A and B are shown apart, each in its own frame.
Chain A
Amino acid sequence: MNLRKYLEVYNKFLHTSLASELEYKTNILIDLITAILSLIGSIFLLSIFFQNNGYIGGWKFEQALIIQAIYTILNGITNTWFNPNLTEIVKHIREGTLDFVLLKPIDSQFFISLKKINPSGILEIILGFFLLFFCIKINQINLNLSFLTLSLITISCSICILYSLWFFISTTTIWFVKTWNAIEVLRSFLYIGRFPLNSFSFSLRVFFSIFIPITFITTIPSEVFLGLSQVWKILLEVFVATVFLVTSRKFWLFALKFYSSASS
């Protein structure tokens, strides 16, 4: 692994995909409005839940807002990197252009995971950070070094889990060819990440911690922000993230053995 080479290549990726995306400037504006409206919508929904209740699943409204903020940041990351790249895998496999990717003297997973970038997602990330700072203010959270490291660790783990989930489903394209709808299913499950896990019934909580680890994605980082999280939960998240990353990598290499190119 030559890190320098990969950085250079990534720089080129950024350049080309930004250039092509900026062709559609009004699109970026519309996407920004969409992101803002969607955030307003989910805060509106949250406010309906809290209309006559002080607590939901043990979370106050101000605390639940942190989850919204983290969800918005992660959703922005999904829209910036995961969504445009990993939906491209479907196209690569259907049209057989994955051949060209595999022939390149570069890691194939690196290439297909980072080739494209969607700048409008970055605006969503910024929006999420604004909300997060606002939450830090209204919840009177003390910013110190250990807190910052912990939150950084948990959020990076969430990103890894999220990436692995996306990559895992996209990899199954090698067998099933059309997986658009499986991605839709994942998206609808991820929607749960907007709400504190404790607000769901026990069976759903188990489902969302074991089968699709949505708990780890938004709830644990938010608990870190509120200083509620125990050490074992953070360690568990690091462990889960590592397992997911390693498995998704192995799964990709395994799946490639079954790739037989299109129309050949």
Chain B
Amino acid sequence: MISNLINRKLITLFKVQYSNMLEYRVEIALWAISGIIPFFMLNIWTNNNLNESINISDVMLSRYFLCAFFVRQFSVVWVVFSFEEDSLMGKVSPYLIQPLNPFFRYFAQHIAEQITRFPFALIIAFFFFIFNPESIWIPNLGILLLSIVSTFLSFLIQFLIQSIVACLCFWTEKASSIERLLFIPTLFLSGLLAPVVSFPAYVKSWIYLTPFPYLIDFPANLLSGNETNISGGLSMQILWIFVLFPLFKKIWSEGTKKYTAMGS
């Protein structure tokens, strides 16, 4: 009964958000284009033969960066920016009255945006293959499913982290600057700009204990067929979700008690 209700609510939310997102196709296309930094990095790597030192062939490296691009496309999270705006404008108040946690609304927004984004990401990949025809490959179905799961888990980790940051809006109003701070390690340590295997040993010794390599490096390695520890990576992702979820619930319940309905 309860799960049925949640399902119905969620599906309605998804439908509403999907048609909403379809309105902004051009913006989403532009957003997809803004994610092409991994390709520039690939260009530096292969153009200077830097990959020889880390024992990855040109083809494998280009597949890695293509997958990094894909994983990034489907794990972009901006919940803190939406929530900050809603909270400053006082829009959170009506959401709080509804018998559904407002974060479900943002969650549906993100999923709907990813579905809208999918064709654009495919087009970019298509152009990538035109320029790099030798890197075309077809991952087997099992690997494909596993990497979709791990990309989704990566999205969930980032969504939870950002939701925790977003809840800080209840205390500080401008939580997005904290998010920008957290984005820096995500950018440099997640494997978006350079695969984690290429990192110096003094970083590699501790980085696998942090959530960062599981955000992009792990799913991208999995999908591109580079060497990676599949069960280890997936269990670390799940572990981080189990750590972050209770934290989010705690900060949410504390924060809603603090809420003062600004702007209304």
Residues of A within 8 A of B (CB): 24, 26-27, 30-31, 33-34, 37-38, 41-42, 44-45, 47-49, 51-53, 56-57, 176, 178, 180-182, 184-185, 187-188, 191-192, 195, 199-201, 204
The residue that B40 contacts in the complex, of A26, A181, A200, with Cβ under 8 A, is: A200
A56 near B181 with CB under 8 A, answer no
Q: Is B194 touching A45 in the complex (CB atoms < 8 A)?
A: yes
**A41 cross-chain contacts in B, Cβ below 8 A:** 184-185, 187-188
Contact B34 A187 (CB under 8 A): yes
* Cα distance, A182 to B24, chains bound together (Å): 13
How many pairs, one residue from A and one from B, have CB atoms within 8 Å of each other in the complex?
91
Taking the complex as formed, is B36 at the interface, i.e. its CB lies under 8 A from any CB of chain A?
yes
Cβ-defined contact, B36 with A27, below 8 A? no
Do residues B44 and A48 form an inter-chain contact, with CB atoms below 8 A? no
Number of interface residues of B (CB under 8 A): 37
> B45-53, B218-226, B233-241, B251-259: which one contacts chain A?
B45-53
Q: Bound state CA distance, A31 and B178, in angstroms?
A: 8
Q: List 22 A-B contacts (CB under 8 A).
A: A27-B177, A37-B184, A41-B184, A41-B185, A41-B187, A42-B188, A45-B194, A48-B194, A49-B48, A51-B53, A53-B48, A56-B50, A57-B48, A178-B24, A181-B27, A181-B28, A187-B34, A188-B33, A188-B34, A195-B44, A200-B44, A201-B47
Docked Cα-Cα span, A204 to B40, in Å, equals 9
By a CB distance below 8 angstroms, the chain A residues around B27 are 178, 180-181
Could you tell me if A184 and B34 are in contact, using CB atoms closer than 8 angstroms?
yes
**B30 contacts A34, CB within 8 Å?**
no
Q: Do residues A37 and B181 form an inter-chain contact, with CB atoms below 8 A? A: yes
The 10 closest A-B pairs by CB, nearest first: A52-B53, A41-B188, A181-B30, A184-B34, A37-B184, A188-B34, A185-B34, A34-B181, A30-B177, A181-B27
1/0 per residue, CB under 8 A from A, across B45-70: the answer is 00111101100000000000000000
**A34, B194: Cβ atoms under 8 Å?**
no
Shortest Cβ distance from residue A207 to the other chain B in the assembled complex, whole angstroms:
10
Q: Is the CB of B24 within 8 A of A199?
A: no
B210 within 8 A of A: no
Complex Cα distance, B27 from A178, in Å, reads 8
The answer to whether A47 touches B184 (Cβ under 8 A) is: no
Question: Across the two chains, which residue of chain B brings its CB closest to A196?
Answer: B44
B199: interface (CB < 8 Å): yes
Residue of A nearest to B195 (CB): A48
Does chain A have a CB within 8 A of B35? yes
- Inter-chain contacts of B47 with A (CB < 8 A): 57, 199-201
Residues in B whose Cβ lies below 8 Å from that of A51: 53, 198, 200
A37 touches B44 (CB 8 A): no
Distance A237 CA – B185 CA, assembled complex (angstroms): 35
Q: Which of B127-175 contact A (CB under 8 A)?
A: 172-174
* Residues A188 and B44 in contact in the complex (CB < 8 Å), given A45-B194, A52-B53, A182-B30: no
Quick check: B43 and A188 within 8 Å, CB to CB? no
Asked if B243 is an interface residue, CB under 8 A from chain A, the answer is no
Q: In the assembled complex, which residues on chain B have CB atoms less than 8 Å from the CB atom of A188?
A: 33-37
Knowing A33-B181, A52-B53, A178-B27, the reply to whether A44 touches B188 (Cβ < 8 A) is yes
Given A48-B194, A48-B199: A200 and B30 within 8 A (CB)? Answer: no
Q: Which residues of B contact A26 (CB under 8 A)?
A: 172
